[in-house]
Amino acid sequence: MKRQEFLKTSGLIIASSLIGNCQGRVKKEKEVEARKGALRLSTTIYELQLRQAWTLSRGTWNTRRNVLVRLEKDGVVAYGESAPIPRYNESAESNQEFIQRALPVLEKDLWEYQDRWRELEALAPGQNAAKAALDMAILDWVAKSLGIPLYRFFGLDRNKTLPTTFSIGIDTVEVMQKTAQSVPAFRRLKIKVGVADDKKHIEGIRAVTDRPLVVDANEGWKDRQQALEMINWMAERGVEFVEQPMPAANLEDHRWLKERVKIPIMADESVHKIQDVPALASAFHGINIKLMKCGGLQEALRLVAVARAHGLKLMIGCMIESSLAIAAATTLTPLFDYADLDGNILINNDPFRGLTLDGDRWLLTDKPGLGVEPVIPEW
């Protein structure tokens, strides 16, 4: 067996051991309900309102439309959330359509959650945010049925959750400086880059804080020489690592870049499933795992194991999400090196409560399941 194949197989075995022992305005544009025995499933589209315009190298948003899932079976109510990613041809409507198609899977035994995830994965390609929402709801239901928090179900220590970065979107230098100064509790800041004014923005941030920085280019640099120059320039200004410097398709350019940069580069848009990891190991120093990209908590655990087997650093990230999805991701942070879980801080109409921020670290409760509850009318 080749070394790469051995490492991949080893990672899968490790992942199996991690999860196998446990077997303000609501837009009801579309509702899916099913009753068969004790099962009831409903979804609603919820429009998250951003506190300020959120700009990346590929666009600007003031709102994001997520899908909230409510699953009830045997008297236990569980929740899930999808944050559709347009970059991968997802929308709130396409996520809802997938969830509706998944009803026959959900009507089976939810205690066999690994089988249910495989069936969801096989149901249709893509729509990973919808798969993440259903995986989240299933595992929330399982943990609540057992009367234990989800982190305990995974065998993890809530006292070892990681501090999160605070993300600053692309804006004028003055606005970015003001944002950095407004969040003194966060020990590490994440700066969005990938535009013509990158150097001006980093210099502006450095003028008001000496805190460690990480940057995310979101595939914004199209030329490897430009990426190399920018990364090594940033390395001299206290940037610790750079996420996704160039387009995901440019794997060879990332390999070239990895051999020449002064600080690590992390894959984000390049990584989705465990099958992606072996090829990425030669092109990046680490990967950013997001529940919405990979399809849920179960696949995230498998990604952790396979990535560790390949010697990669690990970051867990998020999209613009409510406290529900952030709580789900936070349960896994003891397995990671870095966390970027601030999506709910960037909105002003969080539909869930129960997740408390202590400085820059999320505190998980001892309540069963994900430990959060909706503050909006049940849907």
Q: What does the pLDDT read at residue 36?
A: 41
Contacts 24+ apart (CB under 8 A), 334-337: 334/156, 334/157, 334/160, 334/161, 334/162, 335/156, 335/301, 335/304, 336/162, 336/289, 336/304, 337/162, 337/286, 337/313
The two three-digit tokens of residue 362, written as one number: 């999320």
Q: How far is CA 198 from the centre of its chain?
A: 24
Q: What does the pLDDT read at residue 19?
A: 53
Q: How far is the C-alpha of 129 from the C-alpha of 240, rounded, in Å?
A: 29
Q: What does the pLDDT read at residue 15?
A: 52
Q: What does the pLDDT read at residue 38?
A: 76
Contact 174, 207 (CB under 8 A): no
Contact 89, 299 (CB under 8 A): no
Q: What does the pLDDT read at residue 32?
A: 43
Domains of the chain listed by start with CATH number: 23-147 (3.30.390.10), 153-374 (3.20.20.120)
Q: What does the pLDDT read at residue 376?
A: 95
Q: What does the pLDDT read at residue 257?
A: 98
Residue carrying the six token digits 């990938």: 194
Q: Tell me the average confidence (pLDDT) per consecutive run of 10 residues in the chain, 379 residues long.
A: 47 50 43 56 98 87 97 97 96 97 96 98 97 98 98 97 97 97 97 96 97 96 96 97 96 98 98 97 98 98 98 98 98 98 97 97 97 94
Q: What does the pLDDT read at residue 13?
A: 43
Amino acid identity, residue 169?
G
Contact 85, 319 (CB under 8 A): yes
HEC per residue, the chain: CCHHHHHHHHHHHHHHHHHHCCCCEEECCCCCCEEECCEEEEEEEEEEEEEEEEEECCEEEEEEEEEEEEEEECCEEEEEEECCCHHHCCCHHHHHHHHHHCHHHHCCCCCCHHHHHHHHHHHCCCCHHHHHHHHHHHHHHHHHHHCCEHHHHCCCCHHHCCEECEEECCCCHHHHHHHHHCCCCCCCEEEECCCCCHHHHHHHHHHHCCCCEEEECCCCCCCHHHHHHHHHHHHCCCEEEEECCCCCCCHHHHHHHHCCCCCCEEECCCCCCHHHHHHHCCCCCEEEEEHHHHCCHHHHHHHHHHHHHCCCEEEEECCCCCHHHHHHHHCCHHHCCEECCCCCCCECCCCEECCEEECCEEECCCCCECCCEECCCCC
User: Closest Cα partner for 209 from 186, 240, 243?
Assistant: 186
End-to-end CA separation in angstroms for the chain: 52
- Give the CA radius of gyration of the chain: 20
Q: What does the pLDDT read at residue 82?
A: 98
Q: What does the pLDDT read at residue 56?
A: 84
